[in-house]
Amino acid sequence: MILLQSSKAQHVFWLGRYLTRIQYLCSQFPFYDNQAALQYAHAFCLPAFDASSLNVLLFDEEQPSSFAQQFQAARHNIQALDEVFSAQTYSELKQLIHTADNNTAYICEVAAECKEVIELESEDIFIFFSLGQNIEQLNRQIRLKQDQTATLIELDKIITLLSKIRGSRIKKVWQQLKSNPDSTHFYHFSDHIENLFELSA
């Protein structure tokens, strides 16, 4: 259990974050309501002022927050895990990446399929992938003032399991975030997660 090298675990973690980010954007796109678009843009510091400008930004491949750039980040993490995933999983992911590379219109569908493939992998992989997914969800929920209840419950399970393997300090920092789920405590927890990967490398 939890036999992944820290650098590999970090790639799995960020893959979970990027795929979750893409999937949420896909569920909202295209934005029609100007107020909702402006709230999203402000929450993530994006240079958009209404639904139309945000939609254009998300399709601009030069923009860091675009579908294309987010998928490229996920792609990079998948490629770094060629020796971690099973041969079948990696082959399936490569094919999915190829599909999205050939037509960016398939990114939403491909992101969802990548998630389904990865969730069938070993528990070692799944725990860090789930950690990334839920951390990304919590980040969005804090920024957009969405309900965090289900995410906090799921993260509590993951952190309890992870703390048994990677030390108890992570649980202490998690309890601070759990008790005060705001941006300040979230960033402190995120920094601790990244530092945990580095210290265990």
| Residue 168 per-residue DSSP state | S
Q: For the segment 145-195, what is each residue's pLDDT rounded down to a tens digit?
A: 999 999 999 999 999 988 876 666 788 899 999 999 999 999 999 998 888
Sequence letter at residue 142? I
pLDDT exceeds 70 at position 61: yes
pTM of structure: 0.93
| Distance between CA atoms of residues 115 and 23, nearest Å | 10
pLDDT in the model for residue 168: 61
pLDDT exceeds 50 at position 1: no
- What's the pLDDT band for 101 if we cut at 50, 70, 90? confident
**Contact (Cβ atoms closer than 8 angstroms) between residue 160 and residue 138:** no
